[in-house]
A and B are shown apart, each in its own frame.
Chain A
Amino acid sequence: EVQLVETGGGLIQPGGSLRLSCAASGFSVNNNYMSWVRQAPGEGLEWVSLIYSGGNTFYADSVKGRFTISRDNSKNTLYLQMNNLRADDTAVYYCARGHYYGSRSYSGAFDIWGQGTMVTVSS
């Protein structure tokens, strides 16, 4: 079964660090573009970061310089290292798999999502 399972969320004080993990099954993270998307309580979706199969990475302005996306191909796991956390980073964090169609055409959409992990930044 193709699925993503996020772990690593929790309560953290402002200025602290946390690493989220996203374990994939049924496909290889290194063969797909992968993203992190977050959703603050009661709010909409916010794209956070992306890593392409070739290794290029991109970030939202709000997290640039503080968050780092990476992957471990041997563990088939995506990560999000979050440093210098702020109260406005409080959200459910989803990992998502990039969508391809036809003979491996890239769509820029996300077709498989994890269940999300809650990060609460508070003193």
Chain B
Amino acid sequence: QKEVEQNSGPLSVPEGAIASLNCTYSDRGSQSFFWYRQYSGKSPELIMSIYSNGDKEDGRFTAQLNKASQYVSLLIRDSQPSDSATYLCAVNMAGRWGLTGGGNKLTFGTGTQLKVEL
């Protein structure tokens, strides 16, 4: 089982629709979760972070976290062609900050490619 798993896609949605991106993780003790957007040929850009169960909204983006089920999702409302990119899920896989147990780094999924079609 991969530590952080995402469907590679591509996920195609029409313009104006809601795009739903999902991520599951293996470490039940993980506390911090992040979504990055990566345009083709560019570096990842942080768009959302979430630490507690429930929803966190920022503009058109909503991150959802369910620690019991070990998944985190990203919803993009009113999807635009400019949202077309690969979305990376990142997890700090430790129960606390520190240099052991994976807390020293973010573990990334391989990303989901999103295509927003006109």
Task: Decide whether A and B assemble into one complex.
Answer: no
